Structure 1
Amino acid sequence: MESLDNVSLSDTRSLRRTDVWVGLWFGVVTLIGLLNALHRYLNNVANGIPASFTFNLIEELTGSLSFGLMLPVLFAAIRRIRQLTHRWMRYACHVLLVLLLSVLHTSLTWGSRIWLFQLAGLGHYDYGVMFWRYVMEFPSDVFYYLLVAVVLWLIDRYRTAQRRELRAAQLESALSEARLDALRLQLNPHFLFNALNAISSIMYEHPRVADEMLARIGELLRATLSAKAQEHSLSEEWRLLALYLDIQRARFGEQLMAHIDTDPALGKAQVPFLVLQPLVENAIEHGGGDIRKVEITVQRCDGNLEFRVSNPVALGGGNTHSGHGIGLSNIEARLKHLYGSHAGLRLARDEGQEASVRLWLPYREGASA
């Protein structure tokens, strides 16, 4: 039923566009005839010649409408001629087409005037010697033919340019999406390698802990690999981060202290998929010391969503977060692709006491939390 509704809606829109074009066509050719009739009538009045506006109106409307009736066929023929490979064939076809157009236009004008003059009670319409009428109308038909050909060429060029721009935008979007997918694929093996390396270091001494870590890793990987979008809600990001922290707690036990400070009202905010895990992983791995403390805060500020992941500096004054690594460079690249200059990542260190990563991006809510 949904597909039928979509087809019906598409057909309705197509019919509306057709009605608009038909109305525009009729309005233009009628306006041309009306203006020409008014010009002839006023010219006769100015010259003191007895004038009938109805007479002039029928003559000019029959001429413009007769030409307008042939426009759809004329458009199709001109477009077909453009596709011919040889130039001489195109020129020959244009000449034949304008000759045929002029003969048909003059004949149709003549026949319609005879009928309409009798219908309006103006008597018999005398069009003069038809041979000379055909010759007389030919120059004006050539002019209007060239005008139609040029306008049609401009319209087609404009539409072609629009299609190219649309295609280029689609290709650019597809390329950007492919790059983002590549970055996500790079991130998952990086996380998996680090997690498996941590398991291998404890699997003989603490097999139960290693087994628990493997179970958490499997659950987290199922969630990450099944994701299709580049963004999801902040509440879902917290859920994935909680799985990762469970893995690290199984590894470090009570030595790991992680605190998350957030507002539940921000749960619908859209954030890049798995954007916090590399930051938290970096803080845990480089924090050092017997107790590894990680503080994660998020707030909305001036239309942005700002994250801050901090940890104490390792003993000995080591430069925490000294390198971006795969995780942080990955985040920077993803932020650039998704938000351009409206998002960023900054590393900081406070007087040898604390190292932190500040991340900001535009605040935007999704349909659901």
Structure 2
Amino acid sequence: MRRRWALGASALAAVALPAFAEPGSWERFTIGNAQTADQAVLPMPFEQRGESFPGSAFYYLQPDPAVLTTNGNGVDQNLLDPAAPVGRPFRMAGSTLDRARAQQCLTMVIYYEAATEPHAGQRAVAQVVLNRLAHPAYPKTVCGVVFEGSERPTGCQFTFACDGALARAPQRFFWDRAAAVARAALAGEVYAPVGLATHYHTIQVNPYWAPSLHFVTTIGAHRFYRFEGGAGTPTSFRLAYLGGEPIAAPHPRDLSAASAMADAALDPVALQRAFAAPEVAAPAVRTATSDSVQAHATTPSPRYADAVRTRGGDTLYQAQGLPEAQGIRPEYANSGKWIATPGT
């Protein structure tokens, strides 16, 4: 009897199990109302018909992802001014002492001006210093650019040199970070997004010269500018670095009238106008007339050795047979003229 009941229960379980296991149709297991997206798997280039050959997978290189460089407002920097000029790589010269002082001064300006800025903001500050170094309106040394105007309380080109910031001991982490940026810049690294910028200010202020200069971009907490007109063209940033670095410290205070005039000469608007002013006409080149030849002849001759004097002395080194102002030979009188008037 007990065995008959066991066989009956087994038969009922065998019939009921498919009903529970397959209520309708088999479907993918889902959790609640979670959404599932169909992801299409695209073939790799070497897997496509006509693009493959035996061993082509070994020659495939994944393209580098596009780097999006944005300014402080989140705008793609590459779309701001794609034709903007870019500074030239810095070329170190001079002695080992010059290298050490240049490194020290550039690290100082990066640290005290942009210690908490992003990496791009620190590179931008370093590029401004090197752009000034290549411009004829500024000193020709890194330390000279960094501490220019520090002899006057209101003349510092970089605020930290006058506002007492140097009294604060630098923090090692941020100092090492600034030093790494300085080394890269002095090794020839160019930060293209700021172009030929020579000025910047924080976004909290609005200096009087900002509307007169050409705005380049905003990086971090700084807005960067370059000169308008001739002062901001690439041909103006042509000077090479020759070394001769002064000490890495602010200049001694000088409150004289001459120092005040030098302070006024650093005004960026005045510098921009000076480059825009018409150049003074060069004096006309004088022709070699008999008067000029006679004046040249009155110049005392150098003392020659006896052997040179026996060979003719000073006459050996004087030009002979030079044409006068009207001494053109007749057969060359029409040189450079049209043989016939065009169109006749």
Please report the TM-score for the alignment, with normalisation by the length of structure 2.
0.20
Identify which of structures 1 and 2 has the higher relative contact order when contacts are C-alpha pairs closer than 8 Å and 6+ apart.
2
In the superposition, the TM-score normalised over structure 1's length comes to 0.19
**Structure ranking higher in strand proportion:** 1
